Each structure stands twice: as structure tokens, then as C-alpha cells.
Amino acid sequence: MVLKLPKEKIYTFHKKDFEKMLKDLGMFEDFEKTTLKCHFCSNKISENNLFGFLKINKKIVSICNKVECSEKAIQFQIGEKQK
């Protein structure tokens, strides 16, 4: 099965842009304070386990890279598209 990622909504992780991306999203402070958590499993988000960001009800949330969480994120995006 091939899932197409809707690029405009999932912010994929690129290490060198990581800090800038967090700042752009207004989440850098939370990240610095390590209060960023995965929206689905509440895992603490670090540079090493970040899958990406998702926009849910106009709020940006972070998603960890566990298979279940990244799949949920993708499913959520697909659901949003079909509305």
C-alpha cells in the first residue's frame, strides 16, 4: 500500500532546519523546555524521535516517530482531505 503524504500539511523533518522550523511554528520554546509531546501517545518529543507536525483544529501538534503514531498522523490527514 502506498500512502501519499499531503505535503502542505505535514511538515517533514529536516535536521538542519529543525530549529528554524520549530521557531516558525512557535514551538521552539516548548521544545527547549522538553515539554513537547506526541499528540497521540504523549511521548516526549526530541530531535531523535520527531516524525513531524500536524495541524489539528488550527493547532499545531507534534507527532513522534512510532509506527502507530506516524500512521495515525497520515490517516488523520487523509480523513481531513475527504471532508
Where do contacts with Zn ion occur on this chain (CB under 5 A)?
Answer: 38, 40-41, 43, 64, 66, 69
Q: How far is the CB of 18 from Zn ion (least distance, A)?
A: 18
Minimum distance from residue 16 beta carbon to Zn ion (Å): 24
Q: Would you state the cell numbers that stand for residue 48, as one nine-digit string? A: 531523535
Of 46, 40, 57, nearest to 13 (Cα)? 46
The least CB distance from residue 73 to Zn ion, in Å, is 9
Closer by beta carbon to Zn ion, 36 or else 64: 64
The alpha carbons of the chain give a radius of gyration, in whole angstroms, of 12
